[in-house]
Every structure is written in structure tokens, then in C-alpha cells.
């Protein structure tokens, strides 16, 4: 039998991610014996071993690695379908509002472009309500995949556009955002080499897929925290030119001469058939 039930995929993913039946059962809120039986039944139905069990613990087989990857995508798609269906029918709002799109944007990025897009779209007869969902660095793809967002502004090369339909809207350079009193803040331009190793001013680190890259810079959780740490002289960051709109008085932006250009795209799930979304995309392309 080729079909999989959502429940058994969820059970398998918990075990595959925890690599421990006890922790997986606790995460699922169930006892361990029925979880073990469910995984064994799944293996029998598929005709392959998904897990290697021994005294040292649990490990994924090659087939298990495939199901881990495919199962995550399948659950995301199922969750996204439920969320978008409820949103289309107004079931996710107390007022039952329909014709609503959720637009995910990286906090403080492409502010002027976003303002122009919203103003232009709101002038279209019959325009849907747009809910702007600010998010952190590189979170837009996940929000699109699991249905929390219908459309997103994404930035290459920082965001991966794989699996989405996209239209390029804007290309811009990059800037180094520094504490206003730092000696480098007086420079007309800087290079990537200049800002990669500034004594006492390590670059801020944003999470990607839940993990932080190595380095001495502080781990950043949101835009306000970053802004404060830059103003205090504890870190610096590299942003697209349009980020000038959120700078504080304690910040200075210096253009980077050799940083690759950043292209802002509007992105949406490739399978979408939403007429409201099509109208928003058309407005964005015509800006």
C-alpha cells in the first residue's frame, strides 16, 4: 500500500527527529509501547526498515532518511492546506472575514517597496485584505510552506527560492550598519573584508533553520535586539540598502563596494490558484 496516514507520518517524524522512542512518545503525549507498534506496522506496510534499533539507541536507515525528508514536506503541505482553507472561509477569524491574504516580510526590509505595494493594491476594486506578517531572517520560506503565509517578500541570495513561483521586484546594494561613534562609521565606503573582522565589533548572527552559524558575534532573535546592540557598540550587521529606513540615531550606514546585489522577489506556492493572490502579484509586477 502506497498511501500514508498523517498520523503515522507524524509518529515516525517524532521518532526520527528525537532518535529515541521514549522522548518521541513524551513529545506526542502517548505511551511508548503503542508508538513502537505503530512504527513497526508502518515498516511492515511499506516493506522496508526505517529504523535500526540496538542497545545504543535508534538510527535512521537510508529509507528512513527518505521518509524523514518527504514526510516533513507532506505534513507541511497538509498543514498548509488546512490553514489556507480555513483562512479562505474566514474560519480563522472571530469576525469571519474572507478574501484575506497573509504577506510575510522580513522585519524592516524593503519598507518603501512594501508601502507602495500595499497602497497600489488597496486601490484595486475588490482587493483582498492584506495581513502583514513580520518575521525574522530567512523565516519566509517556512511560513509559505506550512500555510501561515500565502505570499512573501524574499531576498536573494539570503532566501532560498526553491519550490516557489517568484517575480523579481527590486535590486539594490548592501550596507554595513555600524555604531555611529565607531571609526569605520566615518568611511565613505567599506568592503566585505573590512567588516568581516572588526576588532571588538563581531558581526551579528541570525538563526537559519533553527541553528546559529559559528562565530563570536551575539545571537540575534529580533530586529529590536539587533538595533540596540549595534547602538551600544556590541555588534554590526550587513543589510540591503533599503534597511536605512529603520536605522536609529545611534547607527551609521556605510555602502559596501563589493557585496553582491540583493534582489527582492515576491514569492508564492507554485500550486496556488487564488484569484486574490494573482491580483496582488499582478499589482507588484506593475509597480
Look at residue 92 and tell me whether its pLDDT is greater than 90.
no
| Mean pLDDT for the stretch of residues 257-280 | 94
Name the average pLDDT for the chain: 91
Spatial distance between the Cα atoms of 210 and 216, rounded to a whole number of angstroms: 18
Look at residue 24 and tell me whether its pLDDT is greater than 70.
yes
Look at residue 257 and tell me whether its pLDDT is greater than 90.
yes
- Give 208's strand partners: 211
Residue 169 has which C-alpha cell? 521586484
> What residue has cell string 559559528?
214
Phi, psi of 5, deg, nearest 5: -90, 145
Handedness of CA 136, 138, 144, 146 (dihedral sign): negative
pTM (two decimals): 0.77
Phi, psi of 129, deg, nearest 5: -70, 135
Spatial distance between the Cα atoms of 116 and 108, rounded to a whole number of angstroms: 14
Question: By three-state DSSP, how is residue 243 classified?
Answer: helix
pLDDT in tens, 122-154: 999 989 999 999 987 788 999 999 999 999 999
pLDDT of residue 109: 76
Neighbours of 54 (CB within 10 A): 7
Residue 191 has which C-alpha cell? 568592503
Look at residue 89 and tell me whether its pLDDT is greater than 80.
no
pLDDT in tens, 199-249: 999 999 988 777 888 999 999 988 889 999 999 999 999 999 999 988 999
> What residue has cell string 509518529?
11
Amino acid at each position: 500500500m502506497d498511501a500514508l496516514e498523517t498520523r503515522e507520518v507524524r509518529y515516525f517524524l517524532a521518532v526520527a527527529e528525537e532518535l529515541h522512542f521514549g522522548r518521541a512518545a513524551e513529545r506526542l503525549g502517548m505511551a511508548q509501547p503503542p508508538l513502537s507498534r505503530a512504527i513497526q506496522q508502518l515498516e511492515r506496510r511499506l516493506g522496508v526498515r526505517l529504523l535500526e534499533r540496538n542497545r545504543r539507541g535508534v538510527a535512521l536507515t537510508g529509507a528512513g532518511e527518505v521518509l524523514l525528508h518527504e514526510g516533513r514536506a507532506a505534513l507541511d503541505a497538509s498543514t498548509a492546506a488546512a490553514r489556507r482553507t480555513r483562512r479562505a472561509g474566514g474560519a480563522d477569524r472571530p469576525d469571519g472575514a474572507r478574501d484575506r491574504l497573509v504577506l510575510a516580510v522580513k522585519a524592516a526590509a524593503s519598507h518603501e517597496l512594501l508601502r507602495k505595494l500595499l497602497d497600489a493594491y488597496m486601490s484595486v476594486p475588490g482587493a483582498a485584505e492584506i495581513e502583514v506578517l513580520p518575521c525574522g531572517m530567512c523565516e519566509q520560506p517556512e511560513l509559505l510552506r506550512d500555510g501561515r503565509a500565502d505570499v512573501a517578500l524574499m531576498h536573494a541570495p539570503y532566501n532560498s527560492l526553491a519550490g516557489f513561483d517568484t517575480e523579481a521586484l527590486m535590486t539594490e546594494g548592501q550596507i554595513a550598519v555600524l555604531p555611529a561613534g565607531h571609526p569605520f562609521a566615518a568611511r565613505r565606503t567599506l568592503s566585505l573584508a573590512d567588516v568581516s573582522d572588526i576588532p571588538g565589533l563581531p558581526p551579528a548572527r541570525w538563526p537559519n533553520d533553527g541553528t546559529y552559524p559559528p562565530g563570536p558575534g551575539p545571537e540575534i532573535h529580533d530586529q529590536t535586539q539587533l538595533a540596540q546592540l549595534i547602538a551600544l557598540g556590541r555588534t554590526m550587521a550587513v543589510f540591503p540598502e533599503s534597511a536605512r529606513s529603520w536605522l536609529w540615531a545611534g547607527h551609521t550606514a556605510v555602502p559596501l563596494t563589493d557585496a553582491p546585489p540583493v534582489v527582492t522577489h515576491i514569492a508564492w506556492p507554485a500550486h496556488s490558484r487564488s484569484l486574490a493572490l494573482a491580483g496582488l502579484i499582478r499589482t507588484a509586477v506593475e509597480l
